[in-house]
């Protein structure tokens, strides 16, 4: 597994090295020792406490979601299909505060993201079905949930496909300006 820096401070891309042959493939999607060694933080991988998975139809957008308080760190990967995954840095004082970056996550390369606390996260399913897996470092507390509308004009995220479905919660999310005023 290779670990790469991104344009956003502290966000990492984890790149497995699948073994492929006539049977198909095998890949290790996560290695705690390599992760901890890269971060120079023994035990960092052990902090992940919860695994979740979503399944989305093509064109569906989920997000942009985040958490206030201590936030949450997560590992995000697409186990089936492909997604256009977007992160927005909401950490005041960060050198990349307010910046966004998009990543393609899919079941061909198995690339996945390490997202530290303090980011909005959302994605759009690029294939007929996309399964996204999340490994999160603490239990979910709905009282800490925050969100920004996927179509916020100040963020102007260039979603690659026409939007097919957005949840009522995501459609009613506030604006980037409202979030900034609340931070």
Question: Which residues are catalytic, by number?
Answer: 65, 134
How far apart CA 166 and CA 61 sit, in angstroms, is 6
SS3 category, 176: helix
DSSP type of residue 174? B
DSSP characters for 72-126? --EEEEEEESEEEEEEEE--TT-TTTT-EEEEEEETTT--EEEE-SSEEEEEEE-
- The closest of 157, 145, 171 to 87, measured between CA atoms, is 157
SS3 category, 182: helix
Tokens at 17, concatenated: 């090295």
């Amino acid at each position: 597994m290779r670990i790469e820096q991104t344009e956003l401070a502290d966000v990492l891309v984890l790149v497995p090295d699948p073994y492929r042959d006539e049977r198909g493939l095998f890949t290790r999607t996560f290695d705690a020792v390599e992760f901890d060694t890269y971060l120079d933080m023994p035990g960092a991988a052990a902090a992940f406490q919860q695994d979740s998975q979503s399944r989305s139809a093509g064109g569906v957008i989920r997000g942009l979601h985040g958490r206030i308080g201590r936030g949450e760190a997560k590992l995000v990967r697409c186990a089936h299909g492909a997604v256009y995954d977007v992160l927005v840095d909401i950490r005041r004082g960060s050198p990349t505060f307010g910046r966004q970056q998009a990543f393609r996550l899919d079941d061909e390369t198995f690339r996945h993201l390490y997202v530290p606390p303090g980011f909005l996260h959302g994605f759009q399913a690029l294939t007929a079905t996309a399964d996204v897996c999340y490994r999160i470092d603490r239990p979910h507390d709905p009282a800490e949930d925050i969100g920004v509308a996927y179509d916020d004009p100040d963020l102007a995220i260039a979603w690659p496909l026409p939007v097919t479905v957005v949840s009522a919660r995501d459609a009613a999310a506030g604006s980037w300006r409202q979030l900034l005023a609340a931070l």
